[in-house]
A and B are shown apart, each in its own frame.
Chain A
């Protein structure tokens, strides 16, 4: 099949070393500094609040939104995190998840609204989303370090790439699923396109959008271990150091911590979605 040589490798390397790093390096450094302070202050805040307070807040939230069983699970889960000495790690992981989810939602939901209302944009955005979801994350982990330095920032960027698509897709889906007759009726009553969007389509789409955000959070958590390969702090690095020293116990301890966080966050965000509807 080798009819001609496609020098993708050479081109990419020339692009990165001769243009991307020297010309755009400063710009990416700026982004890195801003994001870094964002992540650091989030982490410091979560670690500064006494664990008991966070636990109580989480229990109340899960009770209100997801019922007694989950509230009990939250209590046990938080006690577990404390008892295996992983509380700080869990907070670092949550900080990365919060920042990257925030970014995904801020970019993803408007993107989804645009694609739902404009078929042209939808045509452009969909293949990009497919690309983002299927490109193996290892491909962009190391380049992310070249641009943003080691630590939480490239982790957030990589997580953003990996976890944004569901937010976009589900928002688009939610708006497109609003029944045609409802849209017709509001048009007949003389609503402007923006009124139609904000007063009819979006409120009806909220449960679907929330489901998308829930997916985004789950994907962000699943990136925790991979992101720790590029210096992201948190439970992922516990798992990683456990695996690389064949310390199965440590790996499992960290892994269970991630599962606990995942279940708590999942139930709370699902509850939010249900309440919204």
Chain B
């Protein structure tokens, strides 16, 4: 019995080894072709929903150009740290002036390579059923209805700082409660389900505008100017992978397209790569313009 078992085991192992070595041969052939390029482009990916579509689209195009694409997930601080060290080559979703803090920290090692879309709205958001609240100054005097709370994203985010400053500037009797995008949205959904007053931090592109009837509050003190969403790369990328760098510097995409893709990924549960490929197929001309000849 033992012998039979042993026989089965060895055959199984042999098959495995042969199978694996065949695979290795296949992949080594591929890598021989790429030896001339042997290039891996690493994308930094934050947990934000707006990061996924541009990263996937650019990643697929770079793969078509013959690069190997990898993704490193981290929070925004980690991504910029990686960019400065060169562990990460590209970050597709930097928001200016919001991320200027990080740029200033590692300034000489990074560069702002391209503008994805120039005017992304950010600011405080309330549900549409709050008819009397249209600007931040309207909140004055009704803070207690909101439980004196405003919900924000991560504690270290620049938007969080800006919200704090806005609370001071308007003299609002409110405290900002910080968690994360998911935490804030969960709380907002909870309040909106009960049709209660709630104010939180919102930005486009985001599915929240698609799923719920929301409005961005105006403010007359110049807070939350529309952001410019840009591609940031490590300075060495232009030497390391000139073609990839050139493609990225030609990069742009419309905010509506990004939002549409986010909705498809988030709400309809579609595979991000599939959605990105669809965009590429529908915008072949635009893609061809971006790819260096």
Q: Does B7 touch A at the CB level, under 8 Å?
A: no
Q: Are A145 and B183 in contact (CB under 8 A)?
A: yes
Q: Are B156 and A145 in contact (CB under 8 A)?
A: no
Across the two chains, which residue of chain B brings its CB closest to A228? B155
> Interface code A243-259, partner B: CB below 8 Å = 1, 0 otherwise?
11111000000000000
> Interface code A217-232, partner B: CB below 8 Å = 1, 0 otherwise?
0000000000011110
- Evaluate whether A241 and B177 lie within 8 angstroms (CB atoms) in the complex, with A145-B190, A149-B187, A150-B183 already known: no
The residue from B105, B156, B179 contacting A230, defined by CB atoms under 8 A apart = B179
Q: Does B151 touch A at the CB level, under 8 Å?
A: yes
Distance of A264 Cα from B151 Cα, bound (Å): 34
Across the two chains, which residue of chain B brings its CB closest to A10? B269
Q: Are A25 and B179 in contact (CB under 8 A)?
A: no
Q: Does B142 touch A at the CB level, under 8 Å?
A: no
Q: Are A244 and B193 in contact (CB under 8 A)?
A: no
Q: Are B187 and A145 in contact (CB under 8 A)?
A: yes
Q: Are B77 and A237 in contact (CB under 8 A)?
A: no
Distance of A230 Cα from B178 Cα, bound (Å): 7
For A149, what are the chain B residues with a Cβ–Cβ distance below 8 Å? 187, 190
Q: Are B177 and A150 in contact (CB under 8 A)?
A: yes
For A244, what are the chain B residues with a Cβ–Cβ distance below 8 Å? 75-77, 154-157
The residue from A9, A22, A151, A243 contacting B77, defined by CB atoms under 8 A apart = A243
Q: Are B80 and A246 in contact (CB under 8 A)?
A: yes
Q: Are B156 and A231 in contact (CB under 8 A)?
A: no
Number of chain B residues close to chain A: CB under 8 A: 28
Q: Does A21 touch B at the CB level, under 8 Å?
A: yes
Q: Are A142 and B189 in contact (CB under 8 A)?
A: no
Distance of A228 Cα from B180 Cα, bound (Å): 10
Least CB distance, A25 to chain B, in whole angstroms: 7
Instruction: Work out how many contacts link A and B, with CB atoms closer than 8 A.
Output: 72
Q: Does A197 touch B at the CB level, under 8 Å?
A: no
Q: Does A86 touch B at the CB level, under 8 Å?
A: no
> Interface code A1-45, partner B: CB below 8 Å = 1, 0 otherwise?
000000001000000000001100100000000000000000000
Distance of A22 Cα from B194 Cα, bound (Å): 9
For A145, what are the chain B residues with a Cβ–Cβ distance below 8 Å? 179, 183, 186-187, 190
Q: Does A141 touch B at the CB level, under 8 Å?
A: yes
Distance of A229 Cα from B152 Cα, bound (Å): 12
> Interface code B164-200, partner A: CB below 8 Å = 1, 0 otherwise?
0000000000000111101110110110011000000
Q: Are A237 and B186 in contact (CB under 8 A)?
A: no
The residue from B75, B76, B77, B179 contacting A231, defined by CB atoms under 8 A apart = B179
Q: Does A240 touch B at the CB level, under 8 Å?
A: yes
Q: Does A82 touch B at the CB level, under 8 Å?
A: no
For A241, what are the chain B residues with a Cβ–Cβ distance below 8 Å? 154-156, 178
Q: Are B155 and A150 in contact (CB under 8 A)?
A: no
- Evaluate whether A142 and B156 lie within 8 angstroms (CB atoms) in the complex, with A21-B193, A25-B194, A243-B75 already known: no
Q: Does B81 touch A at the CB level, under 8 Å?
A: yes
For B77, what are the chain A residues with a Cβ–Cβ distance below 8 Å? 243-246
* Residue of B155, B178, B187, B193 with most chain A CB atoms under a 10 A cut-off: B155
Q: Does B101 touch A at the CB level, under 8 Å?
A: yes
Distance of A244 Cα from B178 Cα, bound (Å): 12
For B80, what are the chain A residues with a Cβ–Cβ distance below 8 Å? 246
Interface residues of A in 183-242 (CB under 8 A from B): 228-231, 237, 240-242
The residue from A147, A240, A247 contacting B154, defined by CB atoms under 8 A apart = A240
Distance of A91 Cα from B157 Cα, bound (Å): 25
Distance of A242 Cα from B75 Cα, bound (Å): 12
The residue from B78, B155, B157, B269 contacting A237, defined by CB atoms under 8 A apart = B155
- B-to-A contact residues, CB < 8 Å: 75-78, 80-81, 101-102, 105, 151, 154-157, 177-180, 182-184, 186-187, 189-190, 193-194, 269
Q: Rank and list the top 4 A-B pairs by shortest CB-CB distance, nearest first.
A: A244-B156, A241-B155, A145-B186, A245-B156
Q: What are 20 A-B pairs at a CB distance below 8 A? A: A9-B269, A21-B190, A21-B193, A22-B193, A141-B183, A142-B186, A145-B183, A145-B186, A145-B187, A146-B189, A146-B190, A150-B187, A151-B177, A229-B180, A240-B154, A240-B156, A244-B155, A245-B77, A246-B80, A247-B156
